[in-house]
Amino acid sequence: MKKLINSVDSLLDESLRGFAIAHGDIVRFNSDPRYIARLAPSKPGKVALISGGGSGHEPLHSGFIGLGMLDAACPGQVFTSPTPDQMLAAAMDVENGGGVLFIVKNYAGDVMNFEIASEMLDCPNASVLVHDDVSIPEHQGMGRRGVAGTTIVEKIVGAAAEAGLNLDSCKALGERVVRSTASMGVALTSCTVPALGKPTFDIADNEIELGVGIHGEKGRERIGLIKASEIVEKLAHTIEEELKPAKGQHVLLHVNGFGATPLIELYLLYNLAHQYWDSRGVKVARSLVGNFTTSLDMAGASITLTLLDDELTRYWDAPVHTAALMWGC
| Stretch touching a copy of itself by CB under 8 A, among 3-11, 92-100, 148-156, 308-316 | 3-11
Among 156, 184, 236, 289, binds a copy of itself (CB under 8 A): 289
Cα separations in angstroms, 117 against 42, 85, 96, 192, 257:
22, 7, 17, 30, 31
The nearest distance, CB 323 to a copy of itself, in angstroms, is: 9
The nearest distance, CB 20 to a copy of itself, in angstroms, is: 9
DSSP result, 56-94: SSTTTTGGGBSBTSBSEEEEEEETSPPPHHHHHHHHHHH
d(CA 266, CA 47): 34
The nearest distance, CB 46 to a copy of itself, in angstroms, is: 23
3-class SS letters over 118-135: HHHCCCCEEEEEECCECC
Residues 6+ apart with CB under 8 A from 2: none
Q: Verify whether residue 274 is a known catalytic residue.
A: no
Neighbours of 44 (CB within 10 A): 8
Compose the 109-128 pattern: x for residues touching a copy of itself by CB under 8 A, - for all others. Answer: --------------------
Per rule CB under 8 A, is residue 268 in the interface with a copy of itself? yes
Among 250, 274, 283, 314, binds a copy of itself (CB under 8 A): 274
Per rule CB under 8 A, is residue 196 in the interface with a copy of itself? no
Say if strands 300-307 and 283-290 run parallel, antiparallel, or are unpaired.
unpaired
Per rule CB under 8 A, is residue 198 in the interface with a copy of itself? no
The nearest distance, CB 212 to a copy of itself, in angstroms, is: 13
Among the options 23, 131, 215, 321, which is catalytic?
Answer: 215
| Stretch touching a copy of itself by CB under 8 A, among 20-28, 44-52, 65-73, 237-245 | 20-28
Per rule CB under 8 A, is residue 216 in the interface with a copy of itself? no
Per rule CB under 8 A, is residue 209 in the interface with a copy of itself? no
Per rule CB under 8 A, is residue 265 in the interface with a copy of itself? yes
| Stretch touching a copy of itself by CB under 8 A, among 114-122, 156-164, 204-212, 302-310 | 204-212
Could you tell me if 25 and 39 are in contact, meaning their C-beta atoms sit under 8 angstroms apart? yes
Q: Verify whether residue 57 is a known catalytic residue.
A: yes
Per rule CB under 8 A, is residue 297 in the interface with a copy of itself? yes
Nearest to 324 by CA among 5, 73, 103, 46: 73
Nearest to 298 by CA among 190, 213, 221, 209: 190
d(CA 120, CA 194): 33
Give the dihedral of Cα atoms 133, 304, 113, 124; nearest 10 deg.
Answer: -130
The nearest distance, CB 188 to a copy of itself, in angstroms, is: 4
Compose the 64-93 pattern: x for residues touching a copy of itself by CB under 8 A, - for all others. Answer: --------------x---------------
Amino acid at 233: E
End-to-end alpha carbon distance in the chain: 41
The nearest distance, CB 54 to a copy of itself, in angstroms, is: 11
Active-site residue set: 57, 215
